[in-house]
Amino acid sequence: MTLHERLAELATFGATAEGIDRALFTPPEREARERFTAWAREDGLHVEQDRAGNVFARLGGRAAGAPVQCGSHLDTVRNGGAYDGAYGVVGGLEALRRIAVSGEAPARALEVVAWAGEEGSRFPLGCLGSAVYAGLTSYDEAAALVADDGETFASALRGPSGLLDGVPVRDGFPPPAAYVELHIEQGPVMEREGARLGIVSAIAGQRRFRVRVDGVAGHSGTVPMNGRADALCAAADLVLAVEAAARAQEDTVATVGHLNVEPNQTNIVPGRVVLRIDLRSIDDARIAAVERTVRAEAAEIAVRRGVHVTIEVLEARAAVPMETRMRLLVRAACLERDPNAIEIASGAGHDAMCIAQIAPAAMIFVPSIGGRSHVGDERTAPADLELGVEALGATLLAVAASGVGSSGEAGASNP
């Protein structure tokens, strides 16, 4: 099967009227991991999983030691697209397949990884599998996470859509020698610049918060307007304050994309709202500034509207620059194939953020048509998908042949 046929098949798992819904440890997400495993075995790779649900497919190299890894994720956001994550996994498989059929064994082992739960769309932590693998979140902490549907990570992992049958469970979380992630840009910059390949300079930092607004529920017909503590009206003020705080900073974005109203009845004044804020910038100081403003605004809204506001940090990841030597190797591979390749910062989060904490890491982007992503009509031109795989294959071979991440090098060992 070609790269495009594999991507098309994966897109059928979890297909909805508006996109793809493949949340971690649900039947379609497991189906995607099973297909990945079958394809990897067909391609002659050795497949293992770890106890966090990450799946590894390895091609042996001439020298023993830690592999040079690539990969991404197979889960999607709700009504997401066919390329976010899936492209890096299937593209990684394709790059390894081409290297294997070339008959020339790579200098070091190469591995493609399907990281578990990058999107944070079921459990309230993004990059979940890669964070556990990198030691940033302990296995026990992950195991206790509760999904929006009430199931814990540990129970989902043991359940029918959890760990795969017939795939050995790797003991421990050995770090790679180096890591390269291939991904769609998910924004409009490359298309605008006429670039077909992007050399990622850094990944934006991000913070996610859960905010609970407690007001007083009551009868919508009898509680006078001036006697209310309407949680939704207070939340609405806060949503607009979040938008204004991010607008006041350069290159900073903040979104409230998740909001629950209780009891959510037409004739009841809302008593409680729980919402989530997603805040990002390539400059961590700007994230901190927006957080300070939002907290101050929340305190002011609480007093003015007679509600109680509590803010919990769900996730905090600092901005991550890509490792210099890896970036140079990516740059050489990209410029050779696209003279218009550009350096680009990633506004989206990626598993590479976590793996960069334990190994030299870099990323390659291909353009997104119309900059569309996290929606069903996410697209990338087939020729650009091909070019990205070529650039990935060349980078993997170059990294494997280089000294980057060779044993004993600082930054390449798991704490």
Binding residues for Mn ion, rule: CB under 5 A, are 84-85
Query: Shortest approach of ligand GLV to residue 43 CB, angstroms?
Result: 27
**Within 371-410, which residues bind ligand GLV (CB under 6 A)?**
none
Nearer to ligand GLV, 271 or 367 (CB): 367
Nearer to ligand GLV, 126 or 175 (CB): 126
Nearer to ligand GLV, 349 or 405 (CB): 349
* Two tokens, residue 72: 């991404």
388 binds, among Mn ion, ligand GLV, none (CB under 5 to 8 A by kind): none
Query: Shortest approach of ligand GLV to residue 348 CB, angstroms?
Result: 4
Query: Shortest approach of Mn ion to residue 313 CB, angstroms?
Result: 21
Beta strand 272-281 with 252-262 is antiparallel
Nearer to ligand GLV, 119 or 191 (CB): 119
Cis peptide before 160 (omega within 30 of 0): no
Query: Shortest approach of Mn ion to residue 118 CB, angstroms?
Result: 6
Confirm or reject binding of residue 348 to ligand GLV (CB under 6 A): yes
349 binds, among Mn ion, ligand GLV, none (CB under 5 to 8 A by kind): ligand GLV
How far apart CA 59 and CA 45 sit, in angstroms, is 5
Query: Shortest approach of ligand GLV to residue 126 CB, angstroms?
Result: 5
SS3 for 109? strand
* H-run or E-run covering 48: strand 46-49
Nearer to ligand GLV, 52 or 125 (CB): 125
277 DSSP β-pair partners:
209, 256
191 binds, among Mn ion, ligand GLV, none (CB under 5 to 8 A by kind): none
Dihedral sign computed on CA atoms, order 147, 151, 152, 157: negative
Instruction: Tokens 């905090």: give the residue.
Output: 316
- Sheet strands (E) in 133-204: 178-184, 198-203
**DSSP-assigned states of every residue in 57-78:** EEE--SEEEEEEEEEEE----T
Query: Shortest approach of ligand GLV to residue 202 CB, angstroms?
Result: 14
Name the residue among 402, 326, 321, 315 with its Cα closest to residue 357. 321
Nearer to Mn ion, 7 or 398 (CB): 7
50 binds, among ligand GLV, Mn ion, none (CB under 5 to 8 A by kind): none
Beta strand 63-73 with 178-184 is parallel
Size of the residue set binding ligand GLV (CB under 6 A) = 4
Phi, psi of 136 (to 5 degrees): -85, -30
Query: Shortest approach of Mn ion to residue 126 CB, angstroms?
Result: 8
Nearer to ligand GLV, 183 or 327 (CB): 183
**DSSP-assigned states of every residue in 215-280:** -B-EETTTS-GGG-B-HHHHHHHHHHHHHHHHHTSTTEEEEEEEEEEES--TTEE--EEEEEEEEE
Applying CB under 6 A, which of residues 349, 360, 376, 393 lies at the interface with ligand GLV? 349
Confirm or reject binding of residue 71 to ligand GLV (CB under 6 A): no
Query: Shortest approach of Mn ion to residue 199 CB, angstroms?
Result: 18
Nearer to Mn ion, 84 or 94 (CB): 84
**Within 91-130, which residues bind ligand GLV (CB under 6 A)?**
119, 126
Query: Shortest approach of Mn ion to residue 117 CB, angstroms?
Result: 11
Nearer to Mn ion, 298 or 345 (CB): 345
What single-letter amino acid sits at 56?
Answer: F
* H-run or E-run covering 209: strand 205-214
Residues at the interface with ligand GLV (CB under 6 A): 119, 126, 348-349
